Amino acid sequence: MLKLSKKADYGLIAVRHLAMRHLAGACSAKEIARTYAIPTELLAKILQKLVKKGLLVSQQGAEGGYALARDPATVTAFEVIKAIDGPLLITSCVTAHGDCSQAPTCTVKEPLGKVNEIIVKALNSVTISSLGDEGAEPPPSTSGLIQIGGAPQ
């Protein structure tokens, strides 16, 4: 139905949480899970995936936990989603598999491919640091605008 999975939601929430305390050291999965009422084990698995994809770093053992691997301003929502849910393909039959059963006649995917790119760009324009502070700081309209395609300068 064209919506993000809960796992991706959870991932974004957690990553944002880590971004807000970026310089405060690591944070355990349990702590984050409790804060947002997310099933602990599930969140743990999600975070582990993000570690494997290089978005987070982890510290094992007591007093261990997770932390962002990079500056939050350089991490985009798309990276997080892709790491959790896999590549973003809007249609059921896009390149990379080639197993579209109605391939011979299916031409809708052509223009929808463009829509796909737009979505990716939109998600890529949302950085983790911009997931900001409880909406307390609505971004100024200029920087809040999400630029699609070539910058119209």
Partner DNA sequence: CCAAATCCGACCTTTTTGGTCGGAATTAGA
Partner DNA sequence: TCTAATTCCGACCAAAAAGGTCGGATTTGG
Interface residues toward DNA, by CB under 7 A: 1, 5-7, 10, 28-31, 38-39, 41-42, 44-45, 47-48, 51-52, 58-66, 85, 92
What's the rounded Cα separation, in Å, for the pair 105 and 109? 10
Q: Which of 42, 51, 57, 126 binds its own copies (CB under 8 A)?
A: 126
Query: Shortest distance, CB of residue 61 to its own copies, whole angstroms?
Result: 28
Answer with the entry of its own copies, DNA, none that 66 interacts with (C-beta below 5 to 8 A by kind): DNA
Query: Shortest distance, CB of residue 138 to DNA, whole angstroms?
Result: 28
The three-state secondary structure class of 98 is: coil
What's the rounded Cα separation, in Å, for the pair 60 and 9? 25
Would you count residue 74 as binding its own copies (CB under 8 A)?
no
What's the rounded Cα separation, in Å, for the pair 6 and 15? 14
Q: Write out the two tokens for 102.
A: 């109605």
